[in-house]
Each structure stands twice: as C-alpha cells, then as structure tokens.
Amino acid sequence: MPATENSIPPNISCKINIGIPAQQFIWTNAVLAGVKPVTSIFSINLDIWEEYISWILDNDSLLAINLDEHFLVIASGEKLEEQVSAKSLSQDKPYYIKIPKSELPTEFTGQRIIRKTSLKKLITPKIRYKNYAVQTEIIISKQLSTIIKIIKAEIKEDKKAKGSAYGFPSCCIQNYMKKGGVNATSELLLSLIEKGIDKSIPPEIWVLGHIPCSINCKQSLEIGTRLLSTIKKSKDAWEKVATWLGSYHINFSVGRRFIDYVPKTFNNEIRTEDSSTEIIVQRGNILRPYSYVEYKSKNHLLKINKDIMGEKVIKYTPGKMLQISSPDKKRNFIKIDTSFISRKYRTRNILKTIFRPYSCKIN
C-alpha cells in the first residue's frame, strides 16, 4: 500500500492508550505515512502484536526486532525484492533476515536471506516480553539502509549518527550530546515551568521523539506539526491521541519517564498541610504506560505493569515524592521520593521538575 494512502486500521486505533502507548503509535504512523524516516518502539501488548506488524508490512515498511545476539528484520516479499538481491519471493508473505550484532553486513545477498515465516512464530521466548507485552526495541522504516544505520550507530554508541538517522535537528543533537539526556530534559521542563506553560504545553513539543534544544526550536516545532497532521486524518485515532496529550504527565524519575493519567475532574485537587509539606491528592485514570517497569527496594516501589491502568489515587509533592495506589489504597504501584534519584541529579533545578504533572494545550 503506498504511503500516501496510509490508513489506520480500526483494530489499531481502538488500542491506543490501551495496547499501544499513544506516543509510540504517533511515531509508527508517521513512518508509515512517509513523514518520518525511522522510529523505535519499545512496548506493544501481545493482543495487538500481529495486527501491529501487519499494519507496518501492509504500508510498504520494514521492522527490525532487537534480540539478545541479533536483529530480526521482517518485511514482505515484495519489499525485500525491491531492496535486496532476492527474487521469486511470495508477495503476500512476511520473511525475515537475521543480522548478527557481532558481524554487521555491508550488503545482503540471496544466500543471507531469507526465511518465510508466520507472524505467530515471531512471538517466541527469544522476544523479551512480560506483563502481556513485547518488551524490546522495534525499529521501523521504509528503507532497510536506514535501519542498518540505526543498528550500526547503536552498536558503536554513536549518538550523533543515530540522531541524524532519526532525522532529529542538528541543534537538538548537539544540545543532547553536550548536556546529556537528563539535563537536556530537565532544562526543557524547567523552561516550561518558568514560562507558566507547564499545563498548556504546545502539543507539537510533546509528541517529539527527541528532546528539543528549546521550546522555540523551529525545526522541532515543524516536525511536531507533521507528526500531528498524520493523526488528525483519522477522527478515532485523533480523539485518543488528544486524550493522551491533554492528560496529566507526571514524571516518576529524571529524564523522560512519565505516567499519564486523566483526572476524573479537573477540580479535585485536595491540598493539605503536613509538617509544612504540601501534598496533592487526585483520582485519575492511568493510561497505557510508555513501557512496563518493575523495581522494588526497602524504600521504593515501581510496579508499572498492566494493572496500573485504570482508576488510581495519585498523591504527590512536587520535587519531593510520588505515590500511586489503588482506589482503596490497599495496593501501591509507585512509591518513591527524592532518595530514589541518583545523587548527581539531585540539583535544585532538576528537583523542581520531577514528581509534578505536565499537560498540553489542545485546541
């Protein structure tokens, strides 16, 4: 199917915020629509896995799954005939190429490819999944050469080459390399707070797959506009993406680690005084997390799995603590404070940006 005719299947759009995180859906759709060269996805529910892969293959694209010792590139026979030295492949069946991480090829030949496979066979113990989701990196592009560039950059830990392959602005790549991901993110969030727009963030900023060097970065805003334009063509998909954008995004750590929730009402914040500490308590519906994470220590808990979704109680003090529990408060899913944060990141400015909700302005 040509990119210009890209459509979003109903069984995909209905799973946004449930089976697939909204931002990962946005990036996938942008690649399939031809407005983004490549993207990486990290968590897809198993109940949407086959439909998700079919959606990619049906839109003239390839994907590579990051496994322990190799990458598994999956494409239709028609796509492989177009991009590698292969002939007489079944046009309507998926194939895969195994790419060892220890020996990246410079080109592909008919001998190196190609095994016919079914989508069901791809769900194996080799794919790291738990909590009913495929939990591993999936690289998606229309060009095998672009996927290879990403793989090579990852193995060599070449951040500049990787950012360029993703199509990120050079100014943002340089900013990221100079400051690091945590500092670049915290500076962006701090600028939103200081400008008083942390609850009315331009959605073009929030949908990006990279950290913009500033909230006024022209190239980043243009990319964000293109990403959103591909979604707005589908009413059902846009409604779910708009729900995610307009929800509260509360960070449970430094960097881009957020839990998204829709407050049951926008006026149900209860502010109490406890030893001069302001605590905000709110009920909200948790959306599909960006990825599932589980961690437990004596003082901290992260149980970000499928059970965290739905109505929960969110309790937080900006810059100090975050707790998310079941409505009856008998079960905790997140319980952390600043001691969870690495000491090198416990600076005044970074602490100002964590354990607090952000939201976008949706017109």
| 273 in Cβ contact with 303 (< 8 Å) | no
Two structure tokens written together for 212:
């913009």
Two structure tokens written together for 248:
């509260």
pLDDT digit string (tens) for 60-115?
Answer: 999 998 887 888 888 887 787 777 766 666 666 777 887 777 766 555 544 455 56
Two structure tokens written together for 319:
């810059």
Mean pLDDT of all residues in 4-21: 84
pLDDT at residue number 72: 85
Mean pLDDT of all residues in 11-38: 94
pTM assigned to the model: 0.90
pLDDT at residue number 110: 45
| Confidence band, pLDDT 50/70/90 cuts, at residue 268 | very low
How many percent of the chain have pLDDT more than 90?
A: 63
Name which of 129, 11, 112 is nearest 65 in CA terms: 129
pLDDT digit string (tens) for 111-161?
Answer: 455 566 665 566 554 455 555 778 888 999 999 889 989 988 988 899 999
How many percent of the chain have pLDDT more than 70?
A: 85
| 257 in Cβ contact with 280 (< 8 Å) | no
List the beta strands (DSSP E) in 247-331.
Answer: 248-251, 258-263, 270-274, 277-286, 293-296, 301-304, 310-317, 321-325
- Per-residue HEC secondary structure of 202-224 comes to CHHHHCCCCCCCCCCCHHHHHHH
Residues in contact with 48: Cβ distance below 8 Å, sequence separation at least 6, in sequence order: 11, 12, 15, 19, 20
Extents of the domains making up the chain: 3-168, 247-358
pLDDT at residue number 1: 36
User: What is the overall mean pLDDT for the chain?
Assistant: 87
Sequence-ordered alpha helix ranges (H) in 59-123: 77-83
Two structure tokens written together for 351:
């602490």
| 303 in Cβ contact with 38 (< 8 Å) | no
